[in-house]
Amino acid sequence: MRLVYLDNAATTRVCPEAAEKALEMMTVHFGNPSSLHSLGTQAEQMVEAARKQVSKLFGCRPETLFFTSGGTEANNLAIFGAAEAKRRVGRHVVSTAVEHSSVLESFNELERQGFEVTRIVPDKNGVITPEQVAEACRRDTVLVSIMCVNNENGMHFPIDRIAASVRRVAPQALIHSDAVQAAGKMPLPAEKMDIDLLSASAHKLHGPKGCGVLYIKKGCRILPRAFGGGHERGLRAGTEAVPLIAAFGAAVEVLPRIDEQNKLYQCLRQRLADGIKSLKDVVWLSPESAVPYIVNISVPGIRSETMLHFLAQNEVYVSSGSACSKGKKSHVLTALGLPDRLVDSALRISFTHTNTIEDVDRFLEVLEEGLKVLVRR
């Protein structure tokens, strides 16, 4: 039975180049990059080489990138580091009701610490306009954090135009975007977008788990969250995870061109859409404006976990939503006003550049079989 993996928004298979580089760094160039001897120097050079490779994701200068343990830490460092740095300027922050939990919970914590939080809700089509964000900002707004691509249904927010609108009404605010589901799949020219902070994660683009990166615009000041060393230019204490960082760089180096990926994703999405139309009682939930590589559907009457287990028994792997939510009801779909019968039966299909039309066809085949044999509530 052929394995079909369509849960790439949760994680991706590590590419051979990244795996080989990680092994090399663990067994050959295994020195501590802070050590003064030659092994340490070699490790440091590998970290800086990876920094240069990863900078291609954001079209930025390597020195504006800071490695972390993943997207969650990068988001936390950006949000708390920015809020603390700007605390004397103001205590109003802006985000959305559909962010990844690492951003959502960070803003909940800021609220507990005395910050006032404005959470913008997209309309039923998953749209947040730059004008909405500008209207939410005030003179005392110090941070705006809005994701680039939603991890559950693929909503895409126009971060460049949002940033421009924020600059006009709240020039003192720092602007952050969680780009974990966008990096490597769409152009993110950070400097041209006029974004202060951008987060990304290696394991979403065929690198290893445990490594992320935060872009910090030159001249932007945020405060560290960990102490005990001068690593990452004093912003993130702790010995760098050299094997993971080097593997991150190797993964970025072999990513296909974005236009090539997009062409594939459009084909896969269209094949999926055509197949879903032919199935009775399957509802397409992703908005038309969503990116083509993340799709959310619902099978009313069959709980998500029931269909997931059926698919997995047939070696087809998708998700019920964010992997970080561990089966909790989707706050994203709920915020969009969808009824419980759709939310409780939601499935997320997410593509990567190694997926094929045959993968989509197999998913549709097993899904149709599940519709016939599973008992509806």
Please identify every residue annotated as catalytic.
324
- Residue 146 is which amino acid? I
Q: 200: helix, coil or strand?
A: strand
**Are the CB atoms for 370 and 31 separated by under 8 Å?**
no
What six digits make up the tokens of 81? 């580091």
Q: Which residue has the tokens 């089966």?
A: 327
What six digits make up the tokens of 328? 């909790």
**Distance (Å, whole) CA 172 – CA 139:** 8
CA 356-362-366 angle, to 5 degrees, is: 155
Alpha carbon 10 to chain centroid, angstroms: 9
- Residue 376 is which amino acid? R
Radius of gyration of the chain (CA): 21
Q: 56: helix, coil or strand?
A: helix
Q: Which residue has the tokens 């009824």?
A: 339
**Are the CB atoms for 42 and 29 separated by under 8 Å?**
yes
**Distance (Å, whole) CA 180 – CA 340:** 27
What six digits make up the tokens of 95? 């985000």
CB atoms within 10 A of CB 335: 17
Supply the DSSP string of 239-295, one letter for each residue: ---HHHHHHHHHHHHTPPPHHHHHHHHHHHHHHHHHHHHTSTT-EE-S-TTS-TTEE
